[in-house]
Amino acid sequence: MPIRVRYFASLRERIGRAEDSLDAQPDLTVAEVWATLQPDRPLDSNTLAALNQEYVEYDRRVSDGDEVAFFPPVTGG
Amino acid sequence: MPIRVRYFASLRERIGRAEDSLDAQPDLTVAEVWATLQPDRPLDSNTLAALNQEYVEYDRRVSDGDEVAFFPPVTGG
Amino acid sequence: MHIEVCEHAFSPWERLATFESEHGPRQGSFGATATFVGTMRDFNEGDDVVSLTLEHYPGMTERQLERIVSGVDDRDGLLEVLVLHRVGQVVPGDPIVLVAVWSAHRAAAFAACRQIMEALKSSAPFWKKEELKDGQRWVAQNTPG
Amino acid sequence: MHIEVCEHAFSPWERLATFESEHGPRQGSFGATATFVGTMRDFNEGDDVVSLTLEHYPGMTERQLERIVSGVDDRDGLLEVLVLHRVGQVVPGDPIVLVAVWSAHRAAAFAACRQIMEALKSSAPFWKKEELKDGQRWVAQNTPG
């Protein structure tokens, strides 16, 4: 099963779509998922990353079937 | 007009009445109001005093027509 | 500012809904409402409590509550304050006190609600007498918040 | 613990009345209820705001809110927690968030309500887009409480 990659809010609008799909590779990290899918956009250090709906650092490893999400600082409440 | 002296809560029950009346004398203090009316009960330092419905120290002077109140620590809320 | 000593049971959520719609700040002006409701428990200091009688000092109570609300540190940050306090006989589950604060921002609302409650507990002239299964006792002192 | 993402406008005081009577802790067990309601203002950063669209991350939102409530420092002191958060299009005066905490004593209720709100603001995956008179903008970052 491929990795499901999701974008939210201003990031979703800038990228122009809500999600991507990516085949897993050995030892792939969250940062590498971004770099593979967004080669022309450096990963802004403000961008938050979640793996399977939990916050993670960019160096976390990603596996087949995982859900990775990237989004800007949250502004609820 | 005499001084109206009021007692509340456990103090009211211990004294056995809700109020007393006292004629003013020159330079009378709150502590002296108590001592005059309750000669057999030393003024417990926990007892709060109010003059005309504002908290005061025991050494505050009391005048004709004033309302003095004595009560235990408050327990509302 | 609206301050009220209630002789009868009140429902805090109904009172809040009514007060906000009738006397609340203009819609869109406030972003934060912090409330506190104090309710009678059926236990205190290890004992079962059957009921409570709340005595107060009419006149001084209202003056002290007004003084407490007026003395809030960040008074400028507040748009409206509601304080209700019950007197008379109260049974477990009955609301005793309601403090509600409306403000543009949350920090002022939280801080003022807390500050008003602490000041009310330490200086508003109310006294509780507890009825236990085997007698009555005056509550000696409020615990610090 | 009850957590809900609301697609439609809600009335916080009505929801509190209903929740407390249907799912609240046993009457007499709680002595303190602290609540916070966040409401849409018609101004932000010096500009008039016409409406707001709240986006969220379905699934992660609920997980994060549960994690926030479970992580409250004095979890033992809490009897019940209710968290409602609005998504979709919101107009000035509409409630956005409700946090309510029931506890035996007031210190735990105040502290938990505040802690949940701050954690929600900093980590629950919601995003606000403001519609101004002359365009739209994403809110960049929440201010600290």
Residue C79 has pLDDT above 80, yes or no: yes
Chain D contact for C30, CB < 8 A?
A: yes
Q: How far apart are CA A20 and CA A5, in angstroms?
A: 5
Domains annotated on chain D, with CATH: 2-138 (3.90.1170.40)
Percent of chain A scored above 70 by pLDDT? 100
Nearest-angstrom CA–CA distance, A3 and A26: 12
Which chains does B contact via 3+ CB–CB distances below 8 A?
A: C
For chain D, the maximum distance between any two Cα atoms, rounded to a whole number of angstroms, is 53
What confidence tier does C55 reach under pLDDT thresholds 50, 70, 90?
Answer: very high
Whether this model's pTM surpasses 0.90: yes
pLDDT at B69: 98
Instruction: Note whether ipTM > 0.85 here.
Output: yes
Q: How many Å lie between the alpha carbon of C114 and the closest alpha carbon of chain D?
A: 7
- Residue type for position C77: G
C142–B75 C-beta distance less than 8 A: yes
Residue C90 CA to residue D28 CA, distance in Å, equals: 11
**Who among D129, D140, D142 is closest to A77 (CB)?**
D142
User: Residue B50: pLDDT above 90?
Assistant: yes
Backbone angles phi, psi at B6, to 5 degrees: -120, 150
User: What's the confidence (pLDDT) of residue D144?
Assistant: 73
| pLDDT score, position C43 | 93
Residues of D within 8 A of A72 (CB-CB) are 127, 138, 140
**Which chain D residue has its CA at the smallest distance from A67's CA?**
D60
pLDDT score of D106: 96
Total count of residues recorded for chain C: 145
For residue D106, which residues of chain C lie inside 8 Å, CB to CB? Answer: 36, 38, 117, 145
Per-residue pLDDT at D41: 96
Nearest-neighbour CA in chain D from A10: distance (Å): 7
> Look-up: residue for tokens 């500012």?
C1
Residues on chain C touching D51 (C-beta within 8 angstroms)? none
Distance CA A53, CA D57 (A): 9
Answer whether C touches D (≥3 Cβ pairs < 8 Å): yes
Mean pLDDT of B24-39: 96
| pLDDT tens digit at each of 145 positions of chain D | 999 999 999 999 999 999 999 999 999 999 999 999 999 999 998 999 999 999 999 999 999 999 999 999 988 889 999 999 999 999 999 999 999 999 999 999 999 999 999 999 999 999 999 999 999 999 998 877 7
C33 closest CB neighbour out of D30, D39, D92: D39
Instruction: Tokens for D131, please give them.
Output: 């519609």
Candidates A13, A66, A74: best to mutate against D (most CBs of D within 10 A) is: A74
Residues of B in contact with C57 (CB under 8 A): 6, 8, 50, 53, 69, 71
D44 φ/ψ angles, rounded to the nearest 5 degrees: -160, 130
DSSP string spanning chain A? -PEEEEE-HHHHHHHTSSEEEE---TT-BHHHHHHHH-TTS---TT-EEEETTEEE-TT-B--TT-EEEEEPPP---
Nearest CA in chain D to C144: D107
Of D118, D141, D119, D109, nearest in space to D67 by CA: D119
Please tell me the distance from the alpha carbon of residue D110 to that of residue C145, in angstroms, as a whole number. Answer: 9
Chain A residues with beta carbon closer than 8 angstroms to that of D56: 76
- Give the list of residues 6+ apart from residue C78 with CB closer than 8 angstroms, or none: C72, C101, C102, C103, C108, C109, C112
Q: Chain C contact for D109, CB < 8 A? A: yes
| B58 — pLDDT class (breaks 50, 70, 90) | very high
- Contact: C125, B6; criterion CB under 8 Å: no
Considering CB atoms only, which of C125, C140, C142 is closest to B8? C125
Of B54, B73, B77, the CB nearest to C141: B73
Is 80 exceeded by the pLDDT of residue C145? no
- Contacts with D60 from chain A: Cβ below 8 Å: 50, 53-54, 69
Q: How far is C45 from chain B (nearest CA, A)?
A: 14
Task: Read off the pLDDT of each residue in C56-65 and give the average, rounded to a whole number.
Answer: 98
Say whether residue D107 is in contact with chain C using an 8 A CB cutoff.
yes
CA distances from C124 to B18, B46, B74, C108, C134 (A): 19, 16, 7, 22, 29
